Chain A
């Protein structure tokens, strides 16, 4: 394991990670997941829905968040629960940043509840494709 229960404190922030969202990766996600909604592949369809270009699947973004958590945990089995609210779209060619903070620790079960999020810088501001979301993780 790359992180230990005793190393964590309530409020401590996890090291964030940035991923570039490419059109190729979003297409790869469509093929791998079976979600072929054209909103994620066809700019014309995306524009008709009011977006400037195709958007990533919510589950592409949540899957990326899960990969970042598993990287931090060192073991997929340590991810017990992940809950995400999708609050804003992610456009292809943007960079998303996964982040989190320890909300609570349970020494009896050696589990932690984390606040987790995905943010993106857009037009000089910050958008939150995933916010007010949480993960429960098992540590040793």
Chain B
């Protein structure tokens, strides 16, 4: 892997929190309400993060070797139906340890006023060939 991928920012995504999406996501995670399931922010986070990471030729990552090691979210407020969140993932760090590669991605999602709604920190583990 070439150096210099740390700090790389992927194209931003726009994600509308629509009713149908909320219902489908709520059913999948067993959210009985009220309101929007907080981890629905995973959807835009994947779109700008993992989705771009695995197609980044400089990283050359095979999706079938990717494990999710750790995840953190900090919410400034609850997510609201009808709003649109925008954000881009940045590669925070890349470390190799014990035959594994650890990629830390950070994604801040903001509302239409530019206010921070949630920040996510995702650690992906890429298993080696062994």
Question: Does residue A16 face the partner (Cβ distance < 8 Å to B)?
Answer: no
**Which chain B residues (33-80) contact chain A, with CB distance < 8 Å?**
34-39, 42-43, 46-47, 50-51, 63-64, 66-75, 77-79
Interface residue count for B (Cβ, 8 Å)? 37
**Taking the complex as formed, is B95 at the interface, i.e. its CB lies under 8 A from any CB of chain A?**
no
Q: Which residues on A sit within 8 Å (CB–CB) of B51? A: 34
With a cutoff of 8 Å between Cβ atoms, the chain A residues found around residue B26 in the complex are: 67
The answer, yes or no, to whether A11 is at the interface (CB within 8 Å) is no
Q: Does B1 contact A (CB under 8 A)?
A: no
Residue of A nearest to B21 (CB): A32
Q: Which chain A residues border B35 with CB–CB below 8 Å?
A: 70, 75-77
B72 to chain A: which residues have CB within 8 Å?
81-84
B126 CB to closest chain A CB, in angstroms? 13
> Which residues 54-97 in A have Cβ within 8 Å of B in the complex?
57-60, 62-64, 66-68, 70-71, 75-77, 79-86
CA distance A79 to B72 in the complex (A): 12
Q: Which residue of B lies closest to A24 (CB)?
A: B28
Interface residue tally for chain A (C-beta within 8 Å):
38
Question: In whole Å, how far is A49's beta carbon from the nearest beta carbon of chain B?
Answer: 7
Is B10 part of the contact surface with A, judged by Cβ < 8 Å?
no
B27 to A28, Cβ gap below 8 A? yes
When the two chains form their complex, are residues A19 and B75 in contact, meaning their CB atoms are under 8 A apart?
no
How many angstroms from the CA of A81 to the CA of B38 in the assembled complex? 10
Min CB distance B72 to A, Å, is 4
* Chain A, residue nearest B119 (CB): A81
Q: Which of A's residues lie within 8 Å of B, judged by CB?
A: 19, 25, 28-29, 31-35, 37-39, 45, 48-49, 57-60, 62-64, 66-68, 70-71, 75-77, 79-86
A-B contacts besides A32-B21, A32-B28, A63-B29, 8 pairs, CB < 8 Å? A25-B28, A31-B24, A32-B25, A63-B30, A66-B29, A77-B75, A81-B73, A81-B75
Residues of B within 8 A of A (CB): 21, 24-32, 34-39, 42-43, 46-47, 50-51, 63-64, 66-75, 77-79
